[in-house]
Amino acid sequence: MRKPHTDRPLDRELSDAPQEERWREWLRRIEAVLFASAVPVSREDLSRVVGQGVSVELLIDDLSADLEGRSFEIAGIADGWILRTRAIYAPAIREAANVSHQLLDLNEFDVAVLAAVAYHQPVTRDGLKDIFGKEISRDLIGRLHDRGLIGTGPRAPRRGAPHTFVTTDQFLVAFDLETLQDLPDRESLEDAGLSNVQ
């Protein structure tokens, strides 16, 4: 069997096809890109696979409607979209699939430090020390970084120019947030016993 030729440039416009067929093909392309990506895909990246002037947002809306009632959905994360399993199926996935390597496995203090980074970013280790009244270990910062929940931000504009830390898109994915504006307000944090995060 002959392999498909992949060196040809992608025909974005599909001008030889009827409008309805073009739209269906663009939907399939968007779905394929989202399916293949483990991270949110930006509007700019998705626009590379559809015709000029085509609304990626309308395609996403149509694809979301097509996925109604399915076990997965499209979620808006930061400035992009990701295809993910609906939360209601998490118990079934944990029961049947080996996903233990994907579990966050964070203790209460890890979550508190992560929340402090989210609310005070960009923040240095000294800034975290001021919040918690004690030194935050490099190991803890390393664990959060290794899990992709925090990244290195801009250097602080002070003596020694220490590194700062910021949350990542993976943080948004892990905590089912579209943007940082979806973080709970401080009163909700206090109700949850995380009043150390100021």
* pLDDT tens digits, 132-168: 999 999 999 998 999 899 999 998 888 888 899 999 9
Give me the chain's average pLDDT, please: 87
Cα 171 from Cα 179, distance rounded (Å): 10
Report d(CA 189, CA 15) in Å as an integer. Answer: 53
pLDDT value, residue 188: 72
pLDDT in tens, 19-60: 899 999 999 999 999 999 988 999 999 999 998 899 999 999
pTM for the predicted model, two decimal places: 0.64
- Cα-Cα-Cα-Cα torsion 112, 134, 195, 116, nearest 10 degrees, comes to -40
80 compared with 187, residue with greater pLDDT: 80
Report which of residues 40 and 191 the model is more confident about: 40
pLDDT for 63 beyond 60: yes
